[in-house]
Amino acid sequence: MRVETRSFKTTLDLRLVPVTFLVTTIVLLLAVLSVSYSVEAKKISVNDPLWYFTEWNWHVDPAGSFAEAVNPGSYFKLTVKDVTNISLLLDFSNIAYPKQNLVSVFWSIDGRTSNNATLPTAGSPLKLYSNAQPGTHTVFFWFNSRNSWNSWTPWEFVRITGLQVNDAASLIATTLRPNRLLHYGDSISEGWINVCVPTSNDARIYCDSAADSWVTHLSAALDAELSMVAWAGQGYTKGGNGDSPLLWTANGNANNNAWTWIDSKYKRSFTKCPNIVTNNHGTNDMNNKTYISKAVAGWLNDFQTVCPKTKIVMIPPFGGFVKTEIEAGVKIYTAKAGTTKSALIHVLSLNSVSKEGISGGGGSIYSPDGIHPNVLKDAQLGAIVSAAISSLRLL
């Protein structure tokens, strides 16, 4: 028996479809398109009080236009509810070399595995999170390293103009550590070559890591949110890389006082003061020892003027350099400061382990050059310093 097969083609005659069905279908399609279009239609301003920026790192524009930081180690935290999409809006308009990798950043959602990017090449908006299921999530975003070209004018920095989220999302209070630590330091604090030794200055962002700095370990041990102000090459007597000025001078202007200026445009606000300020400068001052004591005394005076209740911990260089000059500067100041102010100032004397491998003399198991600690030594130093500060019972 022969069976014949035939193919049939059907066409939909819209004239036979009920009008109500067509209208319903069109409405549903428009609703779907509207949802997909508005996924990231809402912008959260940087001056939202629930968006936490480390207090002494960032200039947050009062009008909410932008937040700007120039120091690696600067970070922000925030928590968003009912969120499906999170993107960071960035401004690269003042960057002189938009096709170069100038800074590195990383971020974590809910403390899970971090993601990283280099700026400005990653572009804006920078996608931080996406999930079809709405939920509550915490973002931790960290400025980790820079290439040390120009950070003071600046054009090597992180400037954030807002957060882009889905319409239903909103910020809620995020969990913060109870204490606040402000730290002043140099390349040893900034995390220079603690991961690897760069083959060129453009590769520095891959070899430096502020996140692995000994200061980061210290802040965790003190249960403190950290504002780290560290400039490679900087000291009491000299400016540092990125065209940064020296730490302190008596005139107080932007190009001579990194301690009280974020960069050449914005002053550091001390309307709120940290619980503790630590100072680890001195390594870069070995060639100009005569000015160190005067600068230490001047900085102590000016800092206590703006933050009279903050505990101050002077941490002489781990390699043992210029400790005598730093101690002399503290004595000059405390001799006239009075008992109450002097009681807030402490000079650490660390054990001999702190200088192992980083007191000069070439590379070691703890340092690629005998000065800058690697991540192993950073962890060690963080533990040593935190134990010494904890013994003072300042918190």
* pLDDT value of position 98: 64
What residues pair up with 277 in beta bridges, in sequence order? 182, 312
Looking at residue 18, its pLDDT comes to 53
What are the tokens at 184? 């002043």
| Per-residue model confidence (pLDDT) at position 186 | 98
Using an 8 Å Cβ cutoff, are 276 and 224 in contact? yes
- Which three-class secondary structure state does DSSP give residue 159? strand
Confidence (pTM): 0.89
Q: What is the pLDDT along the chain (395 residues), one digit of tens a residue?
A: 443 434 434 444 444 445 454 444 444 444 444 444 345 479 999 999 999 999 999 999 999 999 999 999 999 999 999 999 999 999 998 877 766 789 999 999 999 989 999 999 999 999 999 999 999 999 999 999 998 778 898 778 999 999 999 999 999 999 999 999 999 999 999 999 999 999 887 788 999 999 999 999 999 999 999 999 999 999 999 999 888 999 999 999 999 999 999 999 999 999 999 999 999 999 999 988 999 999 999 999 999 999 999 999 999 999 999 999 999 999 999 999 999 999 999 999 999 999 999 999 899 999 999 999 999 999 999 999 999 999 999 99
Identify the domain boundary among 127, 152, 172: 172
Look at residue 10 and tell me if it is in a domain: no
Helices (H), 213-370: 214-221, 292-306, 323-337, 339-342
Pairing of strands 179-185, 115-119: unpaired
DSSP state of 157: S
Judgement on whether residues 48 and 148 belong to the same structural domain of the protein? yes
Q: Is residue 12 a part of any domain in this protein?
A: no
Of 122, 152, 172, the residue that ends a domain is 172
CA distance 345 to 139: 35
Distance CA 57, CA 67 (A): 10
Q: What's the residue count for the chain?
A: 395
Check residue 101 and give its pLDDT: 85
Where does residue 289 rank: exposed (0-12), middle (13-18), buried (19+ CB within 10 A)?
middle
In terms of Cα–Cα distance, which of 160, 171, 143, 153 is closest to 64? 160
74 and 162 in one domain?
yes
The tokens for 16 are 């036979």
Do 266 and 187 have their domain in common?
Answer: yes
- Which of 119, 142, 172 delimits the end of a domain? 172
Residues 157 and 214 reside in one and the same domain: no
299 domain-assigned: yes
* Residues 133, 215 share a domain: no
Q: Is the dihedral of CA 183, 184, 190, 192 positive or negative?
A: negative
> Do 205 and 251 form a contact (C-beta atoms < 8 A)?
no
| Cα dihedral sign, 146-118-381-309 | positive
How many domains is the chain built from?
Answer: 2
How high is the pLDDT of residue 41?
76
Query: How large is the greatest C-alpha to C-alpha distance in the chain, in angstroms?
Result: 118
The residue segments making up the domain with residue 378 are 179-392
Residue 108 and residue 187 in one domain? no
